[in-house]
A and B are shown apart, each in its own frame.
Chain A
Amino acid sequence: MTTATVLEISGLTLDLGGRRILGGVDLAVRPGQVHGLAGESGSGKTMTGLAALGLLPPGARTGGRIELEGTDLLTLPPRQLAALRGRSVSMVFQDPSTSLHPMLSIGHQLTDHLRHHLKLDRKTAKERAAALLTQVRIPNPREALVRYPHQFSGGMRQRIAIAIALACEPKVLIADEPTTALDVTVQAGVLRLLRGLCDDLGLAVLLVTHDLGVMSAIADQVSVMRHGLVVETGPRGRVLTDPQHEYTRTLLDSLPGRSTV
């Protein structure tokens, strides 16, 4: 792993309502790599992802550093952070049936941040949007632009959400359980798409998931979280076949038809 890290999280702590959620998380995400973040519900995976976008719930107190190419996002003034959000770091949410606005057309949702961040005019933005839809393999992209989310299937909606996240050519994509809400048959397609985009665009992907099956399918690096701490990090092959930490072993053992003992 010689490429420089693009997103480096070091000693990230998070307190919310007097409770410690994250107790010093360290993560390094490199361009062209999928970094899987595993762990059970409540282990702090999602909060780590949200922290990188400055989208933590109100009242959250953070410590440590989240560096995007050397710039600490945690201490960045709100205006500058907003300028990076959706531009350099973007996010795909768990459930595309709730993360897309039901009353705004696909075209609107694909172009508003494009026009805001890249100052494109309406026509250029629309063309770029159609190209993006082609990139995520939505058929008839021009026609899809005037349609609304409810007119698409779950898998297509998630592809559209990915297109939205990629619109401004970000360096880092945070995908929070992007396949959990989808049918198993559709999951593989979305994962392949993510992997492909990561390879083609040199995108750094932080893939948050509790599903070790998903993890083993596309991640290069895997970090395992528990109780707000990263307990184990390493290349996928090693972590999944030769886990060093007992908790990782327990997680793997809980998979049906698998056992490390």
Chain B
Amino acid sequence: MSPRWVPSKRVSGEDTGGGGGGGGRPLTRRRVLARHPLARFLLRRTATAVLLAVGVTLVTFVLTNLVPGDPAAAGLGQRAIGDPAIVAQFRHHYGLDKPLPIQYVTYLGNLLHGDLGESQQSHQPVLDDLSTAVPATLELAGAAIVVSLVVGVAFGVVAALRRDRLTDQLLRVVSLLGVSVPTFWLALLAFYVFFYRLGWAPGSGRLDPGMTAPPHVTGLYTVDAALAGQWPVFWSAVGHLALPALVLTAYTVGLLTRFTRSAVLEVLNQDYVRAARAKGLPGRAVLFQYVLRAALVPVVTVAGLAFGALLSGTVLVESIFAWPGLGAYAYRSATTLDLPAVMGVGLVVGLVYLTVNLAVDVLYGVIDPRVRVQ
């Protein structure tokens, strides 16, 4: 899972490039970019991401239309289905009677205006539904990935440094459990133990009953409550967030521990680490500057994938904890064949993946100078 190394340009012989000169040519945009490999790299990656986003819309559209199920049948009541006139009117209202390519173009045009259609279940614009569901899920998945990164990388480094000793063995068991325990089962168990039995965790939802949501700024209740200085709301939001987020962490911590451990072990064997020790650098400097820097490349890759896995994991966890997020919304829309909503969810998930991949690519460029050079 190595990044795509771009063949690097070498400075050969006695020529180190000269750089600075360049005569009196005007400083065009191209020349500015040529001097900033990182900026050029970012621009290229972002352009690719935009193209991919269009691809995502096409895939969501086609996949949704391939679903063997009649939205009319799902959207209308038992009796209405028997009436061809009502069915035809339903299909006409939602544009389902037009040819697929036309439907796609209409869909794209509407997307550009921020119109994702109207949910057949909530009878609200899908965009409105998503604007409450997406922040809820981002808060959950974001908290989980941050905790996972900190804990997983720390566990992985410790395991590698204590290779084959007791600590390593224990961490191996922990990470193995983390990746193998099914998330939904862990969610049920955690809910049962910490809420029902011990009463340590608050119940389901994002806030205690009777509490009103903080003023909308980011949609993340913890952040919004802190911004508004509503500390009881903040602590309630944190309390509700903790258990589902920790349940989601189990898998990603396991995954990141295993990858970090093997990445660090591989780097520890590199000549440049031995050379760094030969320079008499303190162990801390060798670890943080020489070892972790190189080990982070594969870890970043896996963290990106793990974030994707988190988003799909939320479908089950959100259902169990009644967390009003994207997963719960996706589940509801899919089971009721609410096509505009399903497409909206598909689009958001696709875009989140794209963003995460873009972020991973950018991080490669930041971590490893060889990736920047074309």
Residues of A at the B interface (CB closer than 8 Å) are: 53, 55, 82-87, 90-91, 93-95, 98-105, 108, 112-113, 116-117, 138-140, 143-144, 147-148, 150-153, 156, 161, 164
Q: CA A8 – CA B370 in complex, angstroms?
A: 42
B281, B282, B293, most chain A CB atoms within 10 A: B281
16 contacts between A and B (CB under 8 A): A55-B274, A84-B280, A85-B279, A87-B280, A90-B279, A93-B271, A93-B275, A103-B293, A112-B279, A113-B281, A116-B281, A138-B16, A139-B16, A143-B20, A151-B8, A151-B373
Q: Are B277 and A85 touching (Cβ within 8 A)?
A: yes
> Out of A91, A103, A105, A112, which one reaches B278, CB within 8 Å?
A91
Residues of B within 8 A of A85 (CB): 277-280
Residues of B within 8 A of A113 (CB): 279-281
> Out of B9, B13, B20, B281, which one reaches A151, CB within 8 Å?
B9
Q: Are B14 and A139 touching (Cβ within 8 A)?
A: yes
Q: Are A95 and B280 touching (Cβ within 8 A)?
A: no
Q: Are A117 and B280 touching (Cβ within 8 A)?
A: yes
> Out of A90, A93, A150, which one reaches B274, CB within 8 Å?
A93
Residues of B within 8 A of A116 (CB): 280-282, 285
Q: Are A101 and B280 touching (Cβ within 8 A)?
A: no
Task: Determine whether B12 belongs to the interface, using a CB cutoff of 8 Å to chain A.
Answer: yes
Contacts beyond the supplied A95-B271, A139-B14, A161-B275: 7 A-B pairs with Cβ under 8 Å: A93-B274, A98-B271, A103-B367, A113-B280, A140-B19, A150-B8, A156-B11
> Out of B17, B272, B281, which one reaches A99, CB within 8 Å?
B272
Q: Shortest distance in angstroms between B357's beta carbon and chain A's nearest beta carbon?
A: 21
Residues of B within 8 A of A104 (CB): 289-290, 293
What residue of chain A has the Cβ atom nearest to residue B368's Cβ? A103
Residues of B within 8 A of A103 (CB): 293-294, 367-370
Task: Determine whether B2 belongs to the interface, using a CB cutoff of 8 Å to chain A.
Answer: no
Q: Are B285 and A112 touching (Cβ within 8 A)?
A: yes
Q: Shortest distance in angstroms between B364's beta carbon and chain A's nearest beta carbon?
A: 10
> Out of A100, A140, A150, which one reaches B275, CB within 8 Å?
A100
Q: CA A100 – CA B270 in complex, angstroms?
A: 10
Residues of B within 8 A of A150 (CB): 8, 10, 369-370, 373
> Out of B10, B19, B290, which one reaches A101, CB within 8 Å?
B290
Interface SS majority for chain B? loop
Given contacts A53-B278, A116-B280, A148-B369, are A101 and B272 in contact (CB under 8 A)? yes
Q: CA A115 – CA B369 in complex, angstroms?
A: 23
Residues of B within 8 A of A93 (CB): 271, 274-275, 278
Q: CA A82 – CA B281 in complex, angstroms?
A: 7
Give the 10 A-B CB pairs with smallest separation, nearest first: A86-B280, A85-B280, A86-B279, A98-B271, A113-B279, A101-B272, A99-B271, A91-B278, A148-B369, A99-B275
Residues of A within 8 A of B293 (CB): 101, 103-104
> Which B8-45 residues have C-beta < 8 A from chain A?
8-20
> Out of B10, B15, B281, which one reaches A86, CB within 8 Å?
B281
Q: Shortest distance in angstroms between A112's beta carbon and chain B's nearest beta carbon?
A: 6
Q: Are A151 and B280 touching (Cβ within 8 A)?
A: no
Q: CA A104 – CA B281 in complex, angstroms?
A: 15
Given contacts A55-B274, A104-B289, are A152 and B279 in contact (CB under 8 A)? no
Q: Are A148 and B370 touching (Cβ within 8 A)?
A: yes
Residues of B within 8 A of A94 (CB): 271
Q: Shortest distance in angstroms between A78's beta carbon and chain B's nearest beta carbon?
A: 10
Q: CA A90 – CA B281 in complex, angstroms?
A: 12
Residue interface bits B336-374, CB-to-A below 8 A is 1, else 0? 000000000000000000000000000000011110010
> Out of A91, A95, A108, A140, which one reaches B16, CB within 8 Å?
A140
Q: Shortest distance in angstroms between B330's beta carbon and chain A's nearest beta carbon?
A: 39
Task: Determine whether B276 belongs to the interface, using a CB cutoff of 8 Å to chain A.
Answer: yes
Q: Shortest distance in angstroms between A222's beta carbon and chain B's nearest beta carbon?
A: 24
Residues of B within 8 A of A152 (CB): 10-11, 16
Q: CA A100 – CA B282 in complex, angstroms?
A: 17
> Out of B10, B271, B282, which one reaches A153, CB within 8 Å?
B10
Residue interface bits B95-108, CB-to-A below 8 A is 1, else 0? 00000000000000
Q: Are A90 and B278 touching (Cβ within 8 A)?
A: yes
What residue of chain B has the Cβ atom nearest to residue A85's Cβ? B280
Q: CA A151 – CA B373 in complex, angstroms?
A: 10
Residues of B within 8 A of A164 (CB): 275, 279
Residues of B within 8 A of A112 (CB): 279, 281, 285, 289
Residues of A within 8 A of B8 (CB): 150-151
Given contacts A55-B277, A91-B278, are A102 and B370 in contact (CB under 8 A)? yes
What residue of chain B has the Cβ atom nearest to residue A57's Cβ? B274
Residues of B within 8 A of A84 (CB): 280
Residues of B within 8 A of A95 (CB): 271
Residues of A within 8 A of B12 (CB): 153
> Out of B16, B270, B275, B280, which one reaches A144, CB within 8 Å?
B16
